[in-house]
Amino acid sequence: MDKSKSGDVEGVLALMTDDVVFCVAGRTFGKSEFEKGMASMKGTSFEGHSDIQEIEIAGDWAFVRSDLTVQAGGVTRRGPVLSIFRRGTDEQWRLARDANLLTQT
């Protein structure tokens, strides 16, 4: 698994569109709520592994279907994820939508 600290919140946010939407069981949220959640976990160690099942690109849009495992604060969550990326005018790909069904294992 890849190990990282949650200290580079700005770097992670830069990988997202301003209108990013996260869909998780029972709710959706945007970039500002994601940022607040990451700030509340400052100093927490993360480990993650993504097993990519499918990638499709159509013009300035792309999707990735994967199985994700994340360990944070002694809790492991696992499940399927569908991520949609959009290429901006600067030619950079950024996360635009992310739907995941991670559950605690």
Domains of the chain: 2-104 (3.10.450.50)
pTM assigned to the model: 0.85
Residues 6+ apart with CB under 8 A from 100: 22, 23, 24, 68, 79, 80, 81, 82
Q: Which helix (H) or strand (E) holds 39?
A: helix 31-40
pLDDT one digit per residue (tens) for the chain, 105 residues? 444 444 678 888 999 999 999 999 999 999 999 999 888 888 888 899 999 999 999 999 999 999 999 998 899 999 999 999 999 999 999 999 999 999 999
Tokens 């830069």, located at residue: 14
* Residue bearing tokens 């698994």: 1
Q: What are phi and psi of 6, to 5 degrees?
A: -85, 25
> Alpha-carbon distance 24 to 49, whole Å?
18
